[in-house]
Structure 1
Amino acid sequence: MPGWVLGLFLEKHPPPEVLSLAHTLLFFGIAQQYLKGAQNVCVGLLRGLGNTKSGFRATLLGYWVIGIPVMVLCGFGLSLAGPGIWLGLCFGFGATAVLLLRKFSRELASTPALSAVPGRT
């Protein structure tokens, strides 16, 4: 499957190092899509509870405090170049999703309507 997708963008017989890098970047691109999707779902969950500020705060923290430093460290400090940049993106999106999910879990637990349900603590 990766060969078919990459074949749309690469020449017919690319050099092995180009093909290897393209496979790696495709993997990170796919991972990034899942992590970004999880982040968007978590933002939507919080919006459903009426909380629109936490999404902004978590995004700032996840992108600027976690994602960009990992991007710089991996991309330039560890000389991973393109894959290091994508790794930083994945860390930023993943960290943001985790932060948002934690916030959602806390807010859901403190919602009065749900705390009145028998058997729910």
Structure 2
Amino acid sequence: MPTYKNEKSYPISFGRHYWVPGEEKRVPFFIPAEEIGLTVVSDDPKPRSQVLYSGEVTVPPGETVTLPVPYCGKLSLQAATEGDDVAEIHLGERAIRLDGNYGLDLDSLDWGRLGEISLSSSAGATVNLLVMEVS
């Protein structure tokens, strides 16, 4: 978590964070320190990326690939197959078909209703998947 210090003679606030003069505080995200008058003490460790998963998932014929989704409040999910590949993405108890005509683009899903993503394909498929944390 980045660390910032108030070296001014007056209090400084940003969002719900407040620094009294001389106070040093770690926050779980970057803030515009220079613009609000704080000094950057450290950028490390860097905040966790909003990208939870990005890449191609190879689904062998007749098999299911399950990917755990790291905890976050809400997330967006995009999934699409390559070429003529056909697959299903399983979100909870629902299966959604992915093929050359239909991909999936969902925003603001509750993590508590998901937890993991499963992909299956009877003939095998490559699925491009992007999962991101959203506010």
The two structures share one fold, judged by TM-score above 0.5: no
TM-score, normalization by structure 1: 0.28
TM-score by length of 2: 0.26
Q: Which has more strand, going by share of residues? A: 2
- Which one has a bigger Cα radius of gyration? 2
